[in-house]
């Protein structure tokens, strides 16, 4: 089950998703229990008890994964000509997003995608482009392909 949770890779906003796997856990154990019931009635009781125990174990690994892989985000701002942008880099899941800051209350999404850590830099990949985040610089952004200096927000 620990491997199963590791392949699902839940993140904090997916904690409700454990309910969707409850049916799989209950269903498989009860199905095996019913089949075994017709073969050996005493042995089928083990599968019905296992239904509850498996869910407890699965919930433990699910919660453990979320605690060991916390959600965090880093925000950076940068300016190109007279336009202000914000880069958000999320950890768990490995997502990024670039918004243009239009006013204090309104933003405009420019691109969103996933990133991969390679050495001491990040490769940001979206549907439109591939960019590099290295030493507080964003390189390959379509608005400024040569690179732009990023400033962290605390």
pLDDT along the chain (154 residues), means of 10: 72 59 78 86 82 82 77 86 88 84 78 88 89 88 82 77
User: In 30-120, where do the E strands start and end?
Assistant: 72-80, 83-91, 95-101, 107-118
pLDDT of residue 94: 81
pLDDT of residue 19: 60
pLDDT of residue 17: 57
pLDDT of residue 154: 61
pLDDT of residue 12: 60
Whether the CB-CB separation of 73 and 86 falls below 8 Å is answered with: no
Whose tokens are 């620990």? That residue is 2
Q: Single out the residue of 81, 78, 120 nearest to residue 101, CA to CA.
A: 78
pLDDT tens-digit series, residues 52-61: 888 888 878 8
User: What are phi and psi for residue 97, nearest 5 degrees?
Assistant: -155, 140
Whether the CB-CB separation of 116 and 122 falls below 8 Å is answered with: yes
């Amino acid at each position: 089950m620990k491997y199963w949770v590791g392949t699902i890779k839940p993140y904090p906003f997916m904690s409700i998703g454990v309910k969707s796997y409850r049916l799989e856990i209950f269903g498989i154990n009860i199905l095996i229990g019913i089949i075994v019931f017709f073969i050996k009635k005493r042995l089928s009781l083990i599968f019905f008890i296992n239904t509850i125990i498996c869910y407890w174990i699965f919930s433990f690994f699910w919660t453990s994964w979320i605690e060991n892989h916390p959600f965090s985000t880093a925000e950076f701002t940068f300016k190109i000509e007279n336009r202000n942008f914000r880069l958000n880099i999320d950890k768990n899941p490995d997502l990024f997003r670039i918004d243009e800051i239009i006013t204090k209350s309104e933003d405009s999404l420019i691109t969103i995608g996933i990133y991969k850590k390679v050495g001491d830099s990040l490769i940001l990949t979206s549907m439109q482009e591939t960019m590099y985040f290295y030493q507080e610089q964003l390189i390959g952004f379509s608005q400024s392909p040569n690179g732009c200096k990023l400033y962290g927000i605390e």
